[in-house]
Amino acid sequence: MNTGTTFFGYLHQLTARLRGGLSPNNLDEESPLRSELFSADQMEQHGKALAASHQLASGRAPDQLLVRLAANESTLVDVCNLLAAAVTENRRITPAGEWLLDNFYLIEEQIRTAKRHLPKGYSRDLPRLISSPFQSAGMAAGLPRAYDIALEIVAHGDGRVDTEVLNRFVAAYQSVTVLKLGELWATPIMLRLAIIENLRRVGVRISAGRADRNLANVWADQMMETAEKDPNGLILVIADMARSNPPMVSAFVAELARRLQGRGPALALPLTWIEQRLSESGLTIEQLVQSENQQQAADQVSVSNSIGSLRVLGAVDWRVFVETMSHVEQTLLGDPAGVYGSMEFATRDRYRHATEEIAKKGCMDEVKVARQAVALAAAASVSETEQATAARAQHVGFYLIGKGLPQLERAANVRLSVFERMRRALACFPLVLYLGPILLFSASLAGTLLIRARSDELFTGASAAVSYGLSGLLGIVLLLAASQLAVALANWLASLLVTPHALPRMDFTKGIPAQARTLVVVPTMLTSAQGIENLIEALEVRFLANRDDHLHFGLLTDFCDAALESLPTDAPLVQLAQAKIIELNEKYGSSSLPVRHDIFFLFHRPRRWNPQEAVWMGYERKRGKLADLNALLRPAAYGENAVGSAAFSHLTGDLAVLSEVKYVITLDTDTQLPRDAARQFVGTMAHPLNRPLYDRMQRRVIDGYGILQPRVAISLPGTNRSRYA
């Protein structure tokens, strides 16, 4: 009996801590999120009504969500500890408690996800409400509107979140009031927080019921023991229970009735006393037992729905949700250039975030900023005459992230900070900004060290001529050493101060379009039969990782340098390479296109005499190969200097399709082409803001890119090929 009393005393203390000293009235305020269940149509109507009733507060509120999440986590951990202790002592727990205990690992995982995806201070920037019907006792007024929407969805679904209902609810809400992009992106995390809040409230109810049942078990054990050993003393135990004024709640009454009913006339006496106590409130034991069963069933449904919703939230593609619900997205899809909808998700998301930033700094909301960008692009299609420039100006990205951004900011009445103005002014002189500190630091450091060195006896005791000579020599050495340190520091500071941005990219995941036909070439040398086998195998691997109807692969080859124009081993090597290319075309020649084109090509050049090096070699080696290939692909652009096919002694493959090639991807012999990387490269070059704008007067690319060099990474097997790697 003492052991049991100690155990129940521990449970009472833990439950009291869970309740936090709240009275029963306050516990009602923390009741589960359980409102009237709505169908999809009813939720749609409720969304409109909710939007009309929401009133936004001004200013910024303290970040309460992370604090509340930590409190909910602590409470849920304590509840599960309570349930685990009950299971250890072979005590019966409710079905809702079993659900909570069995799936607590999932709840912990979702809490970690919520903490990771909810940065500190993030909710401060979200629009907040003056008041909310779900305002918790431990939270101040001013909850984010997105959080209140999530609470409404959870409450009217009894913890169940259905994606179709969610979409209809949000769409109906936005038919009255448009949500910001930040609120749409916050929807999944707010739903997680709302579900965790609901689990916490149900958990508190479970723990309170557990405490009441524990109390009933204590009195039941004592009464049953007394009735067995000292029946005359049972009346004293009942009197002690009456003096303790036990809670006449459903959990206590139902558990005590379950333990004492049918145990003989002696143990019917405490139930009679409870019946008399309940009659004062117009209740009966049967009613409270039924109420307890209903409450346990309702709690089980709430917990099971909430656990299922947490699983659903992890499986939903929220990018699709945001793009479908975003009014900014629908507005930008009206891009006059027709490019926006064909871009990859990351680029579209960057455009949307740019719209969001302009709206924060200006006088327009996000949708108006997007409309203004579309309007500027539409006006440019009329005013611009040069096709290359118009292709940029007609695209909304030109005004969101390109050189037209100042024009859009003026239209939105954006007020830039002093720091932002300085940053943009300095960005106009990147070379000076980069080289200036390097030169200044190098000269200062070298000069300081040289002055210190000239005070040495070696300089003071030497003649003037020797002293100046030593100073000059030492100054050069010090300047070289200081410049290395200066360059390292400049590069380090640049990585901290300059924010990198990925280049905008088209979405070619479904295939490279015909107007962006691309040739992948590997400039290399034919050295041996085994080397050719390796080249062909590597070319086939690149093709298999990047299969596309408008992507071709070729070897751009030379012979090794030699004292003679041709060697006896040359012809067999070329014949082997040609045979392997033909074999690949026959192996993979089937095409989904109406007209079949060769996929693989061989471009081989003969040796030419180099009088400077006095050797027969491939003209200008790698650079020369690429120049000759360009002349072959675009002979008209080279005019009189075009050598075309004359530069190559052997051409394998049907060259007719090469006239349609727009882009060339150049790979080294040992460079791999990862899966679908070619489509990403072409998608980047094909974007209007990246297309090269060539100035014929300056004879150079003044905007966009003529050449792109992607980031090169070392593969894991490649790190062991040599000591250097």
Q: Which amino acid is at 642?
A: A
Q: Which amino acid is at 8?
A: F
Predicted pLDDT at 592: 58
At residue 665, what are phi and psi to the nearest 5 degrees? -105, 120
| 693 band by pLDDT with thresholds 50, 70 and 90 | confident
CA distance 425 to 433: 11
Cβ neighbour number for residue 397 with a 10 Å cutoff = 27
551-559, strands of its sheet edge to edge: 650-652, 600-604, 551-559, 518-526, 663-666
Whether the pLDDT of residue 23 is over 90: the answer is no
CA distance 214 to 208: 10
| Residue in this structure with the two tokens 């082997």, named with its chain if needed | 576
| 2 band by pLDDT with thresholds 50, 70 and 90 | very low
Average pLDDT over residues 262-289: 87
Whether the pLDDT of residue 19 is over 50: the answer is no
Tell me: the pLDDT tens digits for 185-240? Answer: 999 999 999 999 999 999 998 988 888 888 888 898 889 988 888 888 888 988 88
Give the range with max mean pLDDT: 305-309, 500-504, 696-700. 305-309
Structure tokens at 450: 């040289």
Q: Indicate the pairing of strand 650-652 with strand 600-604.
A: antiparallel
Cβ 491 vs Cβ 485: under 8 Å: no
Half-sphere exposure of residue 426: CA atoms within 13 angstroms, side-chain side: 13
Q: Record the pTM.
A: 0.81
Q: Specify the DSSP class assigned to residue 108.
A: H
Tell me: the pLDDT tens digits for 439-452? Answer: 998 888 888 887 77
Give the rounded percent of residues in the chain with a pLDDT score beyond 90.
46
Whether the pLDDT of residue 641 is over 60: the answer is no
Average pLDDT over residues 264-290: 88
Structure tokens at 618: 């491939």
Give the range with max mean pLDDT: 114-123, 165-174, 209-218. 165-174
Cβ 573 vs Cβ 526: under 8 Å: yes
Tell me: the pLDDT tens digits for 322-376? Answer: 999 999 999 999 999 999 999 999 999 999 999 999 999 988 999 999 999 999 9
Cβ 199 vs Cβ 76: under 8 Å: yes
The helix (H) or strand (E) run that includes residue 554 is strand 551-559
CA distance 353 to 366: 10
- DSSP, collapsed to helix, strand or coil, labels residue 535 as helix
Tell me: the pLDDT tens digits for 579-610? Answer: 999 999 998 876 555 557 889 999 999 999 99
Burial of residue 310 (CB within 10 Å: 0-12, 13-18, 19+) is buried
Tell me: the pLDDT tens digits for 472-493? Answer: 788 788 888 888 998 999 888 8
CA distance 235 to 267: 10
Average pLDDT over residues 394-408: 92
Whether the pLDDT of residue 506 is over 90: the answer is yes
